[in-house]
Structure 1
């Protein structure tokens, strides 16, 4: 009887110590990949940026089915004009309108989601934008006195006051989601490796792990294209080396 009792206690203790370990392992596993909503952001941003509307439409449907609200997707499409220009952003918006019309005729009622609040009237856009950019760059103070800033100070002002203030202050998407959309767009466009390098780092500074950024490459590979994924992988590898 004592042997049976000892064996039972041994099994019980093993299970007690195993369950926390299993739970911890599952939690670690969860942060190794992007969730469904995050994965859906990537092709929406990519196909808006490169202008592939035929692929954008199913990506928009996938985004809605993954749990993105109508206003969250609209916000991604609006943000894209800062990286791909007004024409691509507007084309994406028109494509999204068509998708929503089609879904409504089928009786699908998509969640609108929260609206963006007004920009505070007393917002110091230069200061706010500089603080956001510094945080994304992993710096205590914003970058300054770079050659390009001295050569064309107007573009630096627009970056701080418009992109990192007017756009980033809107509450529909958080900074992490915005950076995910940004790297999705930049990875889909040729000649933007320098900007992609910065924004890979910015995405990780918002809390994305190395494994999640590698999963981003996998999403690119499957959803966008192998060429884009391979090009982005080279940039990410350089970023990971520099961060170590």
Structure 2
């Protein structure tokens, strides 16, 4: 069984991290490296679009603008990057709320509920219908790749450790292994520095401790 991140998966980490915190200079470098590593144009678009659900529209739009410039510059240099697959059309027989709820349950491993969603049922609907429906239903990226992008984005946003912890658990339910998550932290250290990677490791260690007690 593969227990290490492949080259394209490693390339996702800095792209998502710098898109999420708005570091456009380092994002540009990471985008170039991502294309050189074999990520397709459409795969990177998916990563940057998905980041809006965690970091907001402004960061996502800015990141897409930088990527558009990178692609254009490479084309002018005669570098023709692979466009990549497009998403399979979604069945018109089911609405996004229905398949979003199903996707969320599969991702998490159980039905998601709680006081927060009872207090604000609108956010529960938006999460199910849009994030886990409209976005996660798109098959340009695997759920493993999407969760890798998610934790990379969350770790580079301050004050969201509870969400990071939740997505560590989700990632372990969707193809990422403990060894891969440790590798993830190591890659973060290389790109984002000791403070970010130290926090990521602390949250991850807490996740491993919880799992050990189960």
| TM-score, shorter chain, exceeding 0.5 | yes
Q: For residues 13-162 of structure 1, what are the structure 2 equivalents within 5 Å?
A: 31-139=2-110, 142-144=111-113, 146-162=114-130
The Cα RMSD (Å) is 1.1
User: How many residues of Structure 1 are paired with residues of Structure 2 in the alignment?
Assistant: 212
For 1:229 and 1:192, locate their aligned partners in 2 and report how far apart those are by CA, in whole Å: 14
Q: 2:132 aligns with which of 164, 168, 173?
A: 164
**Per-residue deviation, residues 153-212 of structure 1 (Å, max 9, x unmatched):** 000000001000100111100111000000000000000100000100111101211100
Q: Which residue of 1 aligns with 2:201?
A: 233
For 1:169 and 1:122, locate their aligned partners in 2 and report how far apart those are by CA, in whole Å: 14
TM-score normalised to structure 1 length: 0.84
For 2:32 and 2:96, locate their aligned partners in 1 and report how far apart those are by CA, in whole Å: 35
For 1:232 and 1:129, locate their aligned partners in 2 and report how far apart those are by CA, in whole Å: 28
For 2:169 and 2:45, locate their aligned partners in 1 and report how far apart those are by CA, in whole Å: 25
What are structure 1's unaligned runs of at least 5 residues?
Answer: 1-27
TM-score normalised to structure 2 length: 0.96
What are structure 2's unaligned runs of at least 5 residues?
Answer: none
Q: For residues 138-217 of structure 1, what are the structure 2 equivalents within 5 Å?
A: 138-139=109-110, 142-144=111-113, 146-217=114-185
For 2:145 and 2:94, locate their aligned partners in 1 and report how far apart those are by CA, in whole Å: 22
**Per-residue deviation, residues 109-158 of structure 1 (Å, max 9, x unmatched):** 0000011233321223223222222222222xx122x1101110000000
Q: CA deviation at 1:224?
A: 1.9
Q: CA deviation at 1:241?
A: 1.2
For 2:95 and 2:210, locate their aligned partners in 1 and report how far apart those are by CA, in whole Å: 33
**Is the 2:15–2:27 contact (alpha carbons within 8 Å) kept by the matching residues of 1?**
yes
For 2:40 and 2:78, locate their aligned partners in 1 and report how far apart those are by CA, in whole Å: 17
**1:190 aligned counterpart, secondary structure:** coil
For 1:110 and 1:99, locate their aligned partners in 2 and report how far apart those are by CA, in whole Å: 11
Of 32-41 and 172-181, deviating more is 32-41
For 1:190 and 1:167, locate their aligned partners in 2 and report how far apart those are by CA, in whole Å: 24
For 1:125 and 1:94, locate their aligned partners in 2 and report how far apart those are by CA, in whole Å: 28
For 2:188 and 2:94, locate their aligned partners in 1 and report how far apart those are by CA, in whole Å: 37
